[in-house]
Structure 1
């Protein structure tokens, strides 16, 4: 077996779909199939159960994947250590976030300050980010809700109020504060489960003993303002949107309920090597959000990975 076969196996094991994995890796599907077949022949056992065109990791594959993840993580850590020894100008960092729009301004400034650092970005749900950290696919996540997993370290970057946004002319427009019971029956724009706006909305409605009327669910939290502005309904948006909004006009109000806020945190694995690029990006993000949003950003002195 060779290193390329192991990386192919790892990628196929994550997706359990050959054509999707081939497209992600930008290789021909027959080549990917042959690489997996050769690996299984070398090992002497099948790693996947096959049903038609589908694949499912079997017990041999699941056990082998744990070892492969560990071995490839060690090799990637060694590569990062060598890059660190060469300096930040040769570093790289893989990042995941629920919405990349929150990071746009910060990344523009970071790349200007560190043009040699290669950055790879993923947009993922909370569950997806936790898996990516576990497998070592990403070095750092920017999350607005807790991630599950062993030995995860966090650093709060921003704590801000979450506001109710309504279209202009809506019956709630112009109100300074709105109680939760006035949202009953209103078409509500939010995200699918797994993203922080949906988790917050579910929690607030449940705490009030109310049932929401979700009529629009998307995978991009940053699109909520545009959807609300177009008249599709009302919804929750972070306070920073009020200052940097580029979406259609909306009217904001406070919700008369406690704990209506979001906390943006940097999350990384405490038991894995953290590269200089990842450490610097974490520090830079803390400095950026404290400077750009001084009223709402975290005030505690941050700690580095």
Structure 2
């Protein structure tokens, strides 16, 4: 089996769409179809269900997991050789849902280790699991479970989550607001799957309610502006109050014991973790998160 065929298979398996995979890989779709057909012939089993929409079948999922691990080991070997040949500590690849909480730790890490190349990727937690298993990233910082059996994790920060309101809202500055009081309020929040939306849905579900979402966005700074403009309420961790101090929003507490954000750092086993990644792991896990920095 050729490496480029395996990489092409992974793209098709991830997208479950031949034309989109061909566009991403910059190859002709008929050529990509032939590559997949050759792989299936070599393995003696179909990898995709072609009845209707193209879907990875059970055999394909088993093969995908092995291919991801195999290519991950090859990439780890390539990086180890590069580090050994250069005599340096190499690079570290870090993924996160958002890099706002990492501004302080990353700045301090680069100041202490200017020789280390830091490569950043913004990924959703579901993408982090695949990226860790495939060794496409070394470390992941997530606000919700990544859920891969081959990784370890450490909780690095637990912080309260606050309700952001327009300055003239009736709940502005309140100590504790119940979820029932928020039942009819409009919310400006992130898309489903992201941590703020998952938290909002969980808080309301605990009381048998559904939030009234009037705007979905992926931009925290824009969300602050929309709240300030009076378009709705939102949820932000305590650190955001210092991140966007110039925005015209007010804050209120939410009366729910699980209205918190838990940041966890995830990594693959130590035997596969490069020296630079071990340095950053120690730096992030030892960082004083709650001292206002």
Which category describes the TM-score, using the shorter chain as reference length? 0.7 to 0.9
User: Shift in Å at residue 135 of structure 1?
Assistant: 3.6
The 8 Å contact of residues 178 and 256 in structure 2, kept in 1 or not, is answered as yes
Deviations 1:114-144 (A, max 9, x none): 35425141321x3332333234333221111
**Structure 1 counterpart of 2:166:** 167
Q: How does 1:1-305 map to 2 (within 5 A)?
A: 1-27=1-27, 29=29, 31-43=31-43, 45-50=45-50, 55-86=54-85, 89=88, 91-111=90-110, 113-124=113-124, 126-220=125-219, 223-245=222-244, 248-270=247-269, 273-287=272-286, 289-290=287-288, 293-294=290-291
The CA distance in 1 between the partners of 2:136 and 2:243, in whole Å, is 31
Where in structure 2 are there 5+ consecutive unaligned residues? none
User: Shift in Å at residue 39 of structure 1?
Assistant: 3.5
Where in structure 1 are there 5+ consecutive unaligned residues? 298-305
Deviations 1:59-106 (A, max 9, x none): 443333233223212212322433453578462333322223333444
SS of the equivalent of 2:253 reads strand
Residues 147 and 64 (structure 1 numbering): CA distance in 2 closer, same or farther, change over 3 Å?
A: closer
**Structure 2 counterpart of 1:301:** none
The CA distance in 1 between the partners of 2:106 and 2:143, in whole Å, is 18
Deviations 1:188-227 (A, max 9, x none): 2222332221222223223344442222233455653233
The 8 Å contact of residues 172 and 251 in structure 2, kept in 1 or not, is answered as yes
The 8 Å contact of residues 164 and 251 in structure 2, kept in 1 or not, is answered as yes
SS of the equivalent of 1:137 reads coil
Aligned residues, how many?
292
Deviations 1:148-184 (A, max 9, x none): 2324321222221111100121121233333333212
The 8 Å contact of residues 93 and 139 in structure 1, kept in 2 or not, is answered as yes
SS of the equivalent of 2:172 reads coil
Deviates more, 1:232-241 or 1:207-216: 207-216
The CA distance in 1 between the partners of 2:193 and 2:182, in whole Å, is 22
The CA distance in 2 between the partners of 1:35 and 1:158, in whole Å, is 46
Deviates more, 1:17-26 or 1:226-235: 17-26
User: Shift in Å at residue 31 of structure 1?
Assistant: 4.9
SS of the equivalent of 1:153 reads strand
SS of the equivalent of 1:265 reads strand
The CA distance in 2 between the partners of 1:6 and 1:194, in whole Å, is 29
After TM superposition, the score normalised by the length of structure 1 is: 0.80
The 8 Å contact of residues 68 and 133 in structure 2, kept in 1 or not, is answered as no
The CA distance in 2 between the partners of 1:31 and 1:247, in whole Å, is 54
After TM superposition, the score normalised by the length of structure 2 is: 0.83
The 8 Å contact of residues 128 and 146 in structure 2, kept in 1 or not, is answered as yes
